[in-house]
Copies of this chain bind each other. A is one copy, B any other.
């Protein structure tokens, strides 16, 4: 793949068609001032590009691409398929999506298409082929931006065509009705199917839908959305085999299995819009960055969209205060971003996003805080080209699995308070606060390079999971697993026999009872001679080889094991049967880290994050002060570092102002 951009990608979505050409020259001037080298073009331009079926108009796009190239700004060219034109919606009956209640949704917003609509797909393919053919040789073209935020707004459809496509998908999966009936347990509630045509989609029904059907429908919809990507990618690959292809993802977006999608992406791109006023943002956002890096086995990604300041779709849209956008940008880079981009270059004057911040505001003021911060960042990034392509080197991994997410969060579970992301975030943030770098890895990953693997609520054990984890621990790894694990197979069918099912040998326990706790209910437990509280869940655990390292002190679980550890081969497997209070979870994970000799590159005060990237020969240390106070970081007496932004050496120690950052080499 060619990528002549040697530096960090910097720029944003650029929608020049919303403004008159007279503004374009001013745009070029300001882009250069800000250090922009890359823009995403044409994302919502379908209606302008194809005014009537099969008739294409490219004059404005030709002009702007030429103009950008003249100004040494390269193009991430969209296939423009994110929102079909109104004329197409009106012409074809099969395009508008249908919701769970059977309502055919209307348009006049965006992305109003059924993911399985033949008419939409046909129109999209024709458009993609036309655009790719026209610009295939343009020297500004450096990347393909397929569609936009797949699944956003329309992640599922319940139209008749989807129902039929679902049945075909099921036939391919199960081959026979007998297998489907067995996998779904349709002898329950008189749901047995004698013909494929009897199978419906999980529309609003009178009671709880069969959860195995619901799970398969989620898989089917994920596949349907991925298929849209693949169909476009195939066309651009055919015409421009050397141009890398991406699409912009939306954090760990639940409706699409991004591990599957990312296999066919040349580079991962992320849209990240955390709420600046949410106190959890600084530790939940890097989880998403780490996930993006994990999608392609550690390869860097592009932060394709973020806001300079506020968005417009929250109930209250908080601004990013001075230096916060810069801090959040460098946090992305610390976790693997090779590009920092924004939605969007100029704030829209009209439409639903006119109050979304942009690199250039309504006021067009070069001295406005937003634009000044954009310029500062752009100019700093130009000093950091050598970071491009560097990698992380973490010893801890967090297992993340979409099937598990979908199944665990289903209806009719023991507790609706227990959601997969809650647990993932809890374990991640604990490791984050310990400054232990983490890779987010899929369930079928090679774990051999890790010392610690954490799996919060591994409810579903798919074929191979047992073997993978046992092998990891057998060879010396430490496995940490939380409650409600090993419960179901890949079709959400409960294990025959004792919980935790296929994890029983590895964990050395038998879980007799699940005892979810009510909101605000607390149990007590004892660990290491201290007493702690725990919430959300508890279990009646029996030892079957493991040792008890913490026990409950509440209710009928009094004196029974709460935390256990099992020696297995050369390694250990921990089980945490409840959600401990933060200090205890931090203590347990910290002790495990010490056991495995994992520690941050530098010792830093509370409130300061430290993260590293590596080239083959160098270590780059990011220091990020998320706190509201100045913080002092002591450097090792013998060491001298190079401050890459100030371009000077530092030693002894560094004082970081609130929201400030340092990159040391």
Contact = CB atoms under 8 A, between A and B. Distances in A.
A328 to B, nearest CB: 16
Interface stretch (A67-75, A411-419, A464-472, A600-608): A411-419
B352 A208 contact: yes
B101 A102 contact: no
Interface in A56-96: 80, 82-87, 89-90
Contact of A97 (B105, B206, B210, B322): B206
Contacts of A184: 350-351
Interface stretch (A192-200, A634-642, A648-656): A192-200
A51 interface: yes
Contact of A18 (B18, B84, B87, B185): B185
A106 interface: yes
26 contacts: A44-B190, A48-B192, A84-B190, A86-B191, A86-B193, A106-B203, A107-B200, A108-B202, A108-B209, A109-B208, A110-B207, A184-B351, A185-B351, A210-B351, A211-B351, A211-B354, A310-B414, A310-B514, A316-B415, A319-B513, A319-B515, A362-B495, A362-B497, A363-B497, A363-B510, A369-B512
A594 B518 CA distance: 41
A195 B87 contact: yes
Interface string A402-432: 0000000001111111000000000000000
A593 B412 CA distance: 45
A248 interface: no
A345 to B, nearest CB: 14
A528 interface: no
Nearest to A515: B319
Contacts of A90: 197-198
A104 interface: yes
Interface string A108-132: 1111100000000000000000000
Contacts of A347: 494
A369 to B, nearest CB: 7
A389 interface: no
B108 A205 contact: yes
Nearest to A101: B103
Contacts of A198: 86-87, 89-90
Given A48-B192, A108-B191, A517-B316, A153 B206 contact: yes
Contacts of A411: 352
A315 interface: yes
Among A108, A310, A512, A513, which residue has the most Cβ atoms of chain B within 10 A?
Answer: A108
B416 A316 contact: yes
A365 interface: yes
Given A106-B203, A213-B108, A318-B518, A412 B496 contact: no
Contacts of A189: 44, 83, 109-110, 351-352
A569 interface: no
Among A46, A315, A540, which residue has the most Cβ atoms of chain B within 10 A?
Answer: A315
Given A193-B86, A194-B87, A512 B213 contact: no
Interface residues of A, number: 121
A19 to B, nearest CB: 9
Determine how many copies of this chain the complex contains.
3
A127 to B, nearest CB: 11
Contacts of A310: 414, 514
A459 to B, nearest CB: 11
A556 to B, nearest CB: 5
A449 interface: no
Given A87-B194, A363-B512, A414 B321 contact: no
A510 B197 CA distance: 65
A194 B556 contact: no
Contacts of A110: 189-190, 206-207
B321 A555 contact: yes
Contact of A499 (B193, B195, B362): B362
A283 to B, nearest CB: 20
A417 B316 contact: yes
Contacts of A7: none
A25 interface: no
Given A319-B515, A321-B555, A85 B206 contact: no
Contacts of A204: 103, 105-106
B417 A315 contact: yes
A80 B189 CA distance: 10
Among A83, A191, A321, which residue has the most Cβ atoms of chain B within 10 A?
Answer: A191
